[in-house]
Each structure stands twice: as structure tokens, then as C-alpha cells.
Amino acid sequence: MDWDRTQPQDPRQRERVRHLSAEPTAAPADVPGYRMERFLGQGAYGQVWVAVDQSTGRRVAIKFYTHHRGLDWSLLSREVEKLAFLFSDRYVVQLLSVNRDADPPYYVMEYLEHGSLEDKLHREGPLPAEEAVRLGCEIATGLLHAHSKGVLHCDLKPANVLLDQDQRPRLCDFGQSRLVHEQTPALGTLFYMAPEQADGQAVPDARWDVYALGALLYCMLTGSPPHRTPENLARLEQCSSTAERLRVYQELISSSGPPRVHREVPGVDRALGEIVARCLQPRPEDRFPTIQAVLDALRGWQRRQHRRALVILGAVGPALILVVTGYFAYRGFSTTMTQSAQALLARALQSNRFAAWYVAETVAAQVLQRWQALEQEALDPQLVALLEQLNRTRMGSPQWQEAQKRLQQWLQRARARHANLSSTSWFVNTRNGTQVARDPLDPQVLNRNFAYRDYFHGQGRDYAPGRKGLAMIRQPHLSVVFVSRSTGNRMVAFSVPVFAHQSPQAEPIGILAMTVELGRFTEVQRDEGSLNLVTALVDTKADSRPDGTTGRPGSLLEHPFLARLQAQKARSQRRTPLPDLYLPPALTQRAVALVKSVDYPLAPEQRLQLALIDHYEDPVPDPRFAGPWIAAMEPVVVRTARGRRATGWVVVVQERRGEALSPLAQLRHGLVQLGWVALWAVLGVLGGVWLTVWAWRHQSPVTRWWRRFQRRMGWGPSTWSATGTSPKTPAKHHAPTVPQTKSPPPE
């Protein structure tokens, strides 16, 4: 059975429809002035053909009532009567002519070549929600116009909605339509007509068209009318008569309730789903009361959709602008901060390099001052005489002991004369390396041979104890780091040769030297304050092990950490040796290359690359010195009468990276705070604007108070009068008054 056809009211008509179900090959009759072109469709009461107006060439649609007199006449008269009522309506297919006396009777109407909405659904399937609502609004407008003229369609379905050249709908097939004052029942199409319409005694009601409009919307959204399921179709197929089928249909619709499949369609929100569901309520009193109410609801949904786009644009637009602005601001901010950080670091490194140069000059001056003090004392005739006597006399003899005693007294006086120079000890060795005097006196090392020490032979390393036959130094010398046999601490020695007479060929008769323990070279120790700026002294020469083997370069001679350990040792009077601390190998290589550049000059750019360290890690095992630093290195170069002489020492001035960048960090913090304030201010302004719009749209108490204030101040009356509505009470929609007059049928 074709379920999309209007249900016939009579069993005889049902049989007639079945008999005519085959598509005809010739028109039921010739229409003067028209040439039949093709068969278009067939309904429960007639056929529709496409014809061409022979005078104008215009295509028209001709509907033939193919039944015999009586019923044909009443059907034709009824439909023509309704079309005459709607003759000028843009939403209704226009009636062109009618012939009641023909056999069969017919009427001519305009032809729309885009076919029906049913054809469109068959071609394209379900429509998008917005298009379905657009078509639904126009169909509802056409129904509203018909209702306003007292015509109820009573058989609304996709096949009875034609599409013009602009794809705008027009209503057709008013064969089942009724005037509002008529009491004659009318049957529509199953699954499109309201359940109460299936009652053969029902009085036509505007809510029938409300239900049919909901079914039409449902079909456009899902592709099938509501409740048309295989199970329901099977039940209806089992019915043997129209009356039974209509009764079963009423039971199915009333027991099933509003369908929900349309709510799952993309684009159908809760509001649209509720509109369709309310139209499809089985009880008439639960539906929209009029087509006007449905139209208002659909237009309200459209307005909300349009506003939603504006809302999204209004929300996303500023957000995107904010994001894009923030992104470029962040990029610019980051680039500026990076460039500023590089500039600040470069400036801080230059400042540290100057500080390192200043400390290196100070240390060089102190080294030179020690050598000069030792050389001055080495010229003392008493020292020369006592050393010559000790070199000639057998060790241990009374003469040797007396000379040693007098030399010890001299050494104490010489050291006292230079008390301003920090030192651990002063000592004198004979030409064979025997230490014959020491201040402070230490019997454990006195009269022992130290010819293997670097401060005696000046070969840049210590040999194993007992090594003999090494020539003495002939000029002032700064030794490598060694472990003192007296204290067990690591130290360095400043030594000068002692000559019996000053001549180029003279051989030294002994050495005069002083030692300084690591951590007590007070010229380097500075008030470090919060330890944000640290000065260290590094020896690039390899140190010596107690067994006489060569150690590794990069010994840390001076550092606040070593100075604190020395102070703790002095307070506790412990003889615990200081730890061996070295620069990392990569930095040691740079320091060695920097020292070599004194004798083998480098290009200024190369020397600068060696001297400046933008990522420095302090080697001491103390968390107070952990973290990233920047540093600058400068070699200690002594300027003597013989020329510039590199000591092998390097001064390192290190500054905490965070401290160097603290002005920039403060600026960054201020700008970030300002950025957050600006962001919250923008968000606050946007939120305030949206809150104001929402309050205005929803008639909040604040809005009503503001409008009362405007009226009281005389600002708003003209505005309210121009709208034609009260600011307090929104305008209500009233259903159109349906005229009860009856128009005569057209001739």
C-alpha cells in the first residue's frame, strides 16, 4: 500500500484507487488550448498532468477528477472554493482556470518545475536543521495565511508542498481542506495527520495542521515521518478496512507518544527538539494552539541561532583578537627580554672582566712584593755569611749548630720586618737542599733535604723525596701546589736564590723562601656579602702529589669556601687537610690557553672568548655556591725588570646569573603583573558588556530599574512610544481572527 497517499473516506474509493494505481499512458481528457506533455502524479481522487499552454508556451499542471459525477463535483467544488479564497497568496499554488462540466472535471494551476518537497527529500535525503526550519517557517507562513482566511489544509505532507524556482515552498492540493465553520470530517495521510483527525466524526481543527507541520518538520530532519516503523506498518497492513486502519492508527499514535529520533540529528538542539515534539503531541491540548504559535517558536529559534552566531563571533572574535594580540605581545616581549638579557649579561661579563683584571693586578703586585721582600733579605751579608759557613761546615758540628742558631734568629727578624705579607712560613735551604732554618720552627722538617721540591729547582713539578743532583733556581720562582710535610696542607712557595756575590757567573749558595697555604692568600679574599659575587684564584700548573707524581692542573688556590674551612680549622685547631678542588677540564683548558696568551698573544676576539664564561658552575661542594653563574678570567702577570712574567695563576670573578639579570627580572615581573591586570581588565569589560546585554534581553530587575530611571529623567518616552510596546510588558502574540464569511465559488 502507498502510505504517502491521502486516505479515502469510502471502501469503494479504496478499490477505485487500487484500480487506477497503474500509471496511465494518456490523459483522461483533452483540454482546449493545452497540449498534454506528461503524466505527473496520481492521488486518491484524481490525476495530475503537465501540459503546455499553446498560446503562451507556458507549462501548467492540470488536475483531473477521474471519478464519476456526484463525488467528483463535490471534491472539485470544495478544492476550487479553497483555492479561490487563496487566489492572491504567494505561498499557495495559483489557480488559473476550472471546468466543472468536463468529463472528468478538472482545473488548471501553475506548474512548478522543481517538483515537490517529497521529491527533494527522495533526492537529497534529510535536510540540515537550519534549512528544515527555514522551509518550515515558510510553510507555516502559508498555513497562517490560509488560516487567516478561514481555510484549514487538513492534508499537509511533503507531496503537497511544491518548490518554486527559488526553492521556496508553496502549498497545493486543497482537496481535503475545510473552512473553519465547516463540520465535515476530513482525512489526511497516515503518519502526517493528527490522531484525532482519523476519527470519522471529528470536527476540523487548526491543531490538525499544527500536528501535520510537526510531522513535516520531523520528516525533513530525519527523512521519514514520525512513527512510521516496520512494526507499525505491519500492523496497519493487517487491517481489512479503512475504518479499522484509522482506529489502529489512532491507537498507535496515542500510545507511542512524541518520537525522539529527531533529537539525535546533528544541529537539532533541545529547543528545536521541543518545538517538534510539542507539535506532535497526541493530545490536541498539549500542542501549540495555533500555527502562529509554531511560527513564533521557529522564528525565535532562528533568531537564537543568528544570535548564537553573533554571540560566538562576539565571544570568539575578541578572544581571538586577544589571543593574537597576546601571542605577538608575548613574542615581542620574549624577544625583547632575550635581547635585553644578552645585553645585560654582556655588560655584566665586561664588568666582571674588569674586576678580574683589577684583582689579577693586585695579586701580581703582591707576588712581586713577596719576591722583592725575599730578594732584599737575600742580599743581607749576615745571611750570606751564615749560609757560606753552613755550606762549608759538617752538619752537626758545634760550628754548624752555632751558625744554624744564628740563622734561625736572623730569619725570625727578617720575617718580622715583612709582617704585612701574609705567609705560613719562612725558611732557608742550603745549596744541597737541606732546610737549615724555619720560622715557625718545626723540628720534624728541620735539617731535612728538600732538593726535590719545585721551589728549589724550579722545573715546574716536585720529584720523589730523596732526589738529588738538581740545580737550584737562579731567579725568583713561584712553585706548583704541594702538600706540606709540616702541616699536611696544600700550599705554594715563593723562593729566591741567595748569591755570595752579584755577578752573572756566580752560583747560588742557597734559597730563601716563604709559603702560603691555600685559602690564606688574603689579597684575594674579599667581603663577598651575600655570595652573589665571588673571587677565586686558580693555578693552571699541574700540582704535585706527596709521592712525587704529577697531579692535575686547575687547582683552586683561593675561594671563600676554602677561606671558611681555614677559619674553622683555626678555631678547632684540627690538622684536617683541605679538600682538593679543581676547575672542570674544559674550563681548565681555557685557563691554560689564557695563560699561554701572555707569551703567545692572541687576537682580541679570541682572547675575549677565552676570558668570558656565560655558563659557569662553581666546583666547590657547597649548596650556597650552586646554581648558574657568569664568570670572567684574567691571568696573573708580574712585571719585573726582566719583563712580563706569567705566574700560571688565573683570577676568576664569578657573579650569579640571576643577580646579573635581576634588573631585567624586576622589569619582567612588573610587565607580567601589568599584563595580567590588563588581561583581567579586558575580560572584565567584555564580561560587563555581555552581562549588560543579557540583562537587557532578559528584562532583569536592574534593566527595569534603569528604564524607570530613564523615564523619570525624561530620556526614554520617545523610544518606548516608537516601539509601540510598554517597557514593562512584552507584546503578546494573538492568533489571527478567522473570518466566518463564506465566499461564492468562482465561475
Q: What is the pLDDT of residue 24?
A: 72
- C-alpha R_g of the chain: 56
Quickly state the pLDDT bin for 45 (edges 50, 70, 90). low
**C-alpha–C-alpha distance, residues 158 and 116, integer Å:** 7
- DSSP letters, 662-685, are HHHHHHHHHHHHHHHHHHHHHHHH
Same domain? 21 vs 155 = yes
The three grid cell numbers given for residue 338, joined into one nine-digit string = 632575550
Say yes or no to pLDDT of 9 above 60: no
Same domain as 164, residue 71: yes
Count of alpha carbons within 13 Å of 85, Cβ hemisphere only? 27
465 with 576, same domain: the answer is yes
β-partners of residue 171 are 92, 161
Q: What pLDDT does residue 443 have?
A: 87
Question: Ranked by mean pLDDT, which of 41-45, 86-90, 214-218, 600-604 comes out on top?
Answer: 214-218
Domain boundary (659, 682, 707) is at 659
Q: Residue 544 corresponds to which cell in the numbers above?
A: 704535585
The CATH number of the domain holding residue 417 is: 3.30.450.20
SS3 604: helix
| pLDDT value of position 382 | 94
Split at pLDDT 50, 70, 90, the class of 95 is confident
Name the range with the highest mean pLDDT among 424-438, 698-712, 723-737.
Answer: 424-438
631 three-class SS:
strand
pLDDT at residue 741 tops 80: no
% of the chain with per-residue pLDDT over 70: 86
72, pLDDT greater than 50: no
Asked whether residue 733 carries a pLDDT value surpassing 90, the answer given is no
Higher pLDDT, 134 or 99: 134
The answer to whether residues 622 and 673 belong to one domain is no
How many domains does the structure of the chain reveal?
3
Do 652 and 710 belong to one domain? no
**pLDDT on residue 728:** 40
Read off the pLDDT of each residue in 245-249 and give the average, rounded to a whole number: 91
Task: Show the cell assigned to 577.
Answer: 687537610
486 shares its domain with 623: yes
Last residue of a domain, one of 627, 659, 691: 659
Q: Is residue 404 part of a domain?
A: yes
- CATH number, domain at 139? 1.10.510.10
Model confidence at 379, pLDDT cuts 50, 70, 90, reads very high
Backbone angles phi, psi at 363, to 5 degrees: -65, -45
Whether residues 272 and 405 share a domain: the answer is: no
The whole-number pLDDT of residue 221 equals 95
Residues 640 and 708 occupy one common structural domain = no
Q: List the beta bridge partners of residue 25.
A: none
Averaging pLDDT over each range in 39-48, 665-674, 682-691, 734-743, which range is the top one?
665-674
Asked if residue 420 and residue 358 are part of one domain, the reply reads yes
Among 627, 592, 632, 583, which residue's Cα sits nearest to residue 609?
632
Least Cα distance to 66 among 121, 118, 22 occurs for 22
What is the structure's pLDDT at 6? Answer: 66
Each residue's pLDDT tens digit, 526-566:
545 568 889 999 999 998 887 778 889 998 988 888 888 87
Three cell numbers, residue 548:
712525587
**For residue 435, what pLDDT band results from cuts at 50, 70 and 90?**
very high
Q: Could you report the per-residue pLDDT of 598-646, keeping only the tens digit for each? A: 888 889 899 999 999 999 999 999 998 988 999 999 999 998 887 888 9
Least confident of 235-239, 276-280, 503-507: 503-507
Give pLDDT tens digits for 204-237: 999 999 999 999 999 999 999 999 999 999 999 9
Q: How far apart are CA 9 and CA 337, in angstroms?
A: 87
Is pLDDT of 745 > 90?
Answer: no
Continuous segment of H or E residues that includes residue 626: none
**149 and 246 part of one domain:** yes
Map grid coordinates 518545538 to a residue.
275
- What distance in Å separates the CA atoms of residue 294 and residue 477, rounded to the nearest whole number? 109
User: What's at 546, amino acid-wise?
Assistant: P
Which pLDDT score, from 0 to 100, does residue 74 have? 59
Q: Residue 419 and residue 439: Cα distance in Å, rounded?
A: 12
Which of 110-114, 348-352, 544-548, 731-735 is predicted with the least confidence, judged by mean pLDDT? 731-735
Residue 65 in this model has a pLDDT that exceeds 90: no
Please give the Cα distance from 137 to 295 (Å, whole number).
6
**Structural domain boundaries, residue 154:** 11-289
pLDDT at 161 over 70: yes
231 phi/psi in degrees, rounded to 5? -65, -45
Average pLDDT over residues 79-95: 71
**Window from 175-184, 303-312, 700-709 with minimum mean pLDDT:** 700-709
Q: Which residues lie below 8 Å from residue 102, measured CB to CB, with a gap of 6+? A: 29, 31
Q: Three-class SS of residue 539?
A: strand
Range 696-702 average pLDDT: 64
81: pLDDT strictly greater than 70: no
Q: Which residue has the higher pLDDT, 45 or 619?
A: 619
Sign of CA dihedral 465, 466, 470, 472: positive
With residue 636 as reference, give the H or E element that holds it: strand 629-640
Residue 642: the pLDDT is 79
pLDDT band at 718 (very low <50, low <70, confident <90, very high): very low
pLDDT at 485: 75
Among 642, 659, 676, which residue terminates a domain? 659
pTM: 0.57
Residue of 192, 224, 222 whose CA lies nearest to 208: 192
User: Is residue 344 in some structural domain?
Assistant: no
| 166 within a domain of the structure (yes/no) | yes
Residue 732 lies in a domain: no
Average pLDDT, the chain: 84
Amino acid 456: pLDDT: 94
Out of 72-76, 91-95, 185-189, 382-386, the most confident range is: 382-386
What percentage of residues in the chain have a pLDDT greater than 90? 45
Does residue 440 have a cis peptide bond before it, meaning omega lies within 30 degrees of 0? yes
Same domain, 16 and 102: yes
Torsion of CA 722, 726, 730, 731, to 10 degrees: -60
Residue 317 lies in a domain: no
Region 321-333 average pLDDT:
87
Question: Rounded to whole angstroms, how far apart are CA atoms 513 and 506?
Answer: 20
Lowest mean pLDDT among 309-318, 421-430, 440-449: 309-318
* Position 385 pLDDT exceeds 60: yes
DSSP SS3 for 602: coil
pLDDT at 413: 95
Residue 131 within any structural domain of the chain? yes
Pairing verdict, β 612-616 and 629-640: antiparallel
Closest alpha carbon to 151 in 100, 216, 92, 98: 92
List, as one string, the DSSP characters of 134-186. HHHHHHHHHHHHHHHTTEE-----GGGEEE-TTS-EEE---TT-EETT-----
| Residue 553 φ/ψ region, left for φ over 0, alpha for ψ in the -120 to 50 degree band, beta for the rest | beta
* Three cell numbers written together for 74: 463535490
Q: Region 456-464: what's the mean pLDDT?
A: 90
Do the domain assignments include residue 296?
A: no
> Per the domain annotation, does 627 fall within a domain?
yes
Question: 536 and 682 share a domain?
Answer: no
* pLDDT score for 633: 95
